[in-house]
Structure 1
């Protein structure tokens, strides 16, 4: 499991996908999320603006990313 570190209280799912290097542009994240290809804490998430907090885990294409405090 990989991690990304954030300094704020939360990060939006689309931004987290870009930060983790899973997509190159926000529009790519938008389409992948809307198509149901992303899970947050084990459940399919279709909202690009879903807020992820410290300890949350999202997965995409077999990769799991955990949100940690910077």
Structure 2
């Protein structure tokens, strides 16, 4: 599990995937979200501009990111 310390009110989902090094680029992040490979709090979410906040859990390819 990856714990990501949020430095503000929210972080866009695509930026979170890049910041945790689970993807190499913004384009790759957009593709994995569009393809339904990302779960937001247990449910597949296709929103690229999703605002991830403290307490949210992102699941991608077996890796869980907890936002603290």
RMSD value over aligned CA atoms?
A: 0.6
Question: Aligned residue for 1:53?
Answer: 53
Higher strand share: 1
Q: Give the alignment's TM-score, normalised by structure 2.
A: 0.96
Summarize deviations over 1:1-58 as a string: whole Å, max 9, x none.
Answer: 2111121100010000001110010000000000000000000010110000001000
Report runs of 4+ in structure 1 exceeding 4 Å deviation: none
TM-score by length of 1: 0.94
Q: Which runs of 5+ in 2 are unaligned?
A: none
What is the aligned length?
A: 68
